[in-house]
Amino acid sequence: MSSQNRKTIVLAGNQNCGKTTLFNCITGSNQYVGNWPGVTVEHVSGYVASENLKVVDLPGLYSLSPYSPEEIVSRKYLLHANYDVIVNVVDATHLDRSLSLTCELLAFRRPMVLAINMMDLAEKEHINFNLDALSAKLGIPVVAISAATGNNIDKLYAAIHKVADSEAISEITIYDEKLTTSINNITNALRSSETVGKDVRAEAAASDHHQDPALSREGSFNFVALSLLQHDKAYVSAYQGNDKVLSAVNKEVLDLEKHFGTDVESLVAQERYAFVDHVIKETVQEGQGRYNTLSQKIDNIVTNRFLALPIFFAIVYMVYYLAVSTVGTWGTDYANDVLFGEYATNAAAALMESISAPEWLSGLVIDGIIGGVGAVLGFVPQMIVLFILLSLLEQSGYMTRVAFALDRIFRQFGLSGRCFIPMIVATGCGVPAIMATNSIDNINEKRITIITTTFMPCSAKLPILAMIAAAFFPESTFVAPAVYFLAIFSIAFTAFVLKKDSAFKEEVSPFVLEMPNYNMPKLRNVIRSTYERCRAFVIKAGTVIFTTVVAIWFLSNFNFTAEGFGMVEVSDSMLAAFGSAIAFIFIPLGFASWQASVAIITGLLAKENVVGTLAVLLGLGEVAEDDATLGAALHGEFTTSAAALSFLAFNLFSTPCIAALGAMKRQLNSKKLFTFAIVYMLTFAYCLSLVIYELGGFIAGQVAFGPGTVVAIVLVLIALYLVLRPERKARVSLRIPAKQI
């Protein structure tokens, strides 16, 4: 079909109404689906080739008042972008809350279809809809669908094409006659104003969207008029120099407030909700609510003030127990010991022997590529199990409850439950987690989350965690969950310390959260989510890690000697010389070998490199032939479990990979703040590792009392001081203009 005749539809609706699920259903895309608000922050596009449609998925929002980043993005697109049809997606189980936004969208007077989603859940609730009556009340086509099952999507397409080809737009009365008259009067003032075109286009130019040349359409003026009546700051500011428009607005506001005895903003809301109540009463028959009642009964337990956190701890323990200690480990052991340790290694050795390959080529293939990349890919089974379990929790609706429960705690540290969303995303990758902070409208809350969210153990850090846990704590199932909670503690500590500084001081933003009903996760969505997360890791293993381990193998096997440049023993290589030169930095942390030092440096580029580097430097390829593992070789590298935990902590809490740092720099948009973030993360990781080795090792009887122990105690006292010190109100050296982000 010709792209010239392609229609553009916009998916708009409340958060968590299933827009992204519908987007994936009709476009075949792999947009991330999460059962909590804030998953989509910027608009995304896709295509339905069979219907010749372009689909734009806007961020979820509850109103078009610009109080959050999502609302600003959506309003600018709806007002200024060039599109043909608005598809308003609503939750069938919460239609009363959804129709308020529908009323606001109707103000644009654009072709529109109401898609009542989640009808499968509505049937369980025994909710019945009179679709014809609802369509008549709203003046737009109404289609009942289920994006999760794909039910009635063909009817949605038919409705879209019908309204797109129709020039007539139904007029309905939502507001009182006097209020409607006032809106029309201001609309006339806007239309006749000489500067209205410039004013409206100014906001469009500030957006990133393609500007619709038909900005003079009635709906644009109608929406702006309604916004001005409600003292919308964006439009009041835009028309500051237009006395004709502002005089008309002030006159109508005074008349309305005198007539109704209330402010106009409250009046508009009252009229809108009265209209919604009337529509619901006439068109919807509520059922017995068994499904919703079940959700409420479960919530009485999992969101209980005293039970919520213990239940959360138990679930996290079970997730990591299955992923790291049992099921996932069975797959990893098979991959490391059999798939790569025997089959791949033996096959490569036979191939090298058959072609009479030189020693350096055999070493590169067996010890470098298979030993390094194979050691990293061997942990993919653990990732698969972990991401399947996390996806089940996310899509069931439980993670929304966790955000709600943690909000009470995070609020004490200068954060809100909204910050938990990037943390969950970070368990997959730090880059989208940092981007997910766009849903946080509090500027300093957003800054702190950007700096700290990569403390969470992502997929790249999981192999390091699993490696240390398997080598030094094979019988313990608490190491992985403990690291997870240590990450949350580190985030809370950092937030509490930073919020005492005036550069980060701001009131915590209100956390508005709609609790969705519990859903049975769809197998398709679980598989898609797990596949996308693991795919990103495997691709990185095939590019970044492959390149790194080849370079590591080369540098660890060659050097300049008296006889010229050639292969040498590992201890005499160029890499050994470099590692030995920097090893002194890590002596206080319990490990001073050049191999561990080099692994840390490569880990600063990409955390996946840590395991691959150690695999090459410790000869995993050769060791695997003797049925030994990388974990066994580590006992010669770290003399105590305290030293191994110190090594783990530094890699987990130091700066993230280069890609995440790039995302962090873009989001912070400040060289000073970005530099501070890097210095802070490196300092925090070093100090934490030192305390774990010196103080933790001393308590465990692995490290003798000495100067290092004293330093560790001092660091703990400094941390306590930073927590207990009064807030700084004097001028500080770090000053970041708030509008830079």
| Upper half-sphere CA count for residue 222 (Cβ side, 13 Å) | 15
Flag whether pLDDT at 339 surpasses 50: yes
* CA–CA distance, 253 with 231 (Å, rounded to integer): 9
For the chain, percent of residues with pLDDT exceeding 90: 13
Residue from 494, 513, 506, 512 nearest 443 by CA: 506
Flag whether pLDDT at 213 surpasses 60: no
Residue from 527, 295, 290 nearest 396 by CA: 295
Question: At 293, is the pLDDT very low, low, confident or very high (cuts 50, 70, 90)?
Answer: low
Give the mean pLDDT of 463-473: 86
Flag whether pLDDT at 663 surpasses 90: no
CA-CA-CA-CA torsion for 426, 427, 428, 430, nearest 10 degrees? 30
Give the mean pLDDT of 18-22: 84
Model's pTM, two decimal places? Answer: 0.65
Question: At 69, is the pLDDT very low, low, confident or very high (cuts 50, 70, 90)?
Answer: low
Flag whether pLDDT at 253 surpasses 50: yes
* CA–CA distance, 183 with 229 (Å, rounded to integer): 8
Flag whether pLDDT at 466 surpasses 70: yes
Q: Would you kindly state where each structural domain of the chain is located, as residue ranges?
A: 3-164, 177-285, 326-389+522-636
- Token pair of 327 as six digits: 């099921």
pLDDT tens figures, 507-555? 655 555 566 667 778 787 788 878 877 887 777 666 776 777 777 777 7
DSSP helix/strand/coil, 163: helix
Q: What's the topology of domain 3-164?
A: Rossmann fold (3.40.50)
Give the mean pLDDT of 718-734: 72
For the chain, percent of residues with pLDDT exceeding 70: 83
Residues in the chain: 741
CB of 383 closer than 8 Å to CB of 533: yes
Question: At 653, is the pLDDT very low, low, confident or very high (cuts 50, 70, 90)?
Answer: very high
* CA–CA distance, 188 with 166 (Å, rounded to integer): 26
- Token pair of 233 as six digits: 């700051």
Most confident option among 175-189, 217-231, 410-424? 175-189
Higher pLDDT: 220 or 146? It is: 146
Give the mean pLDDT of 315-327: 85
DSSP helix/strand/coil, 8: strand
What average pLDDT does the structure give for the chain? 79
Give the mean pLDDT of 446-460: 88
Higher pLDDT: 416 or 1? It is: 416
Higher pLDDT: 1 or 123? It is: 123
Least confident stretch, 252-256, 439-443, 480-484: 439-443
CB of 370 closer than 8 Å to CB of 316: no
DSSP helix/strand/coil, 88: strand
pLDDT of 444: 82
pLDDT of 716: 94
Question: At 39, is the pLDDT very low, low, confident or very high (cuts 50, 70, 90)?
Answer: very low
CATH 1.10.287.1770 fits 177-285, yes or no: yes
Flag whether pLDDT at 41 surpasses 70: no
pLDDT of 38: 43
SS (H, E, C) 510-551: CCCCCCCCCCCCCHHHHHHHHHHHHHHHHHHHHHHHHHHHHH
Q: How far apart are the first and last CA of the chain?
A: 42
* CA–CA distance, 496 with 403 (Å, rounded to integer): 18
| Upper half-sphere CA count for residue 638 (Cβ side, 13 Å) | 27
pLDDT of 210: 38
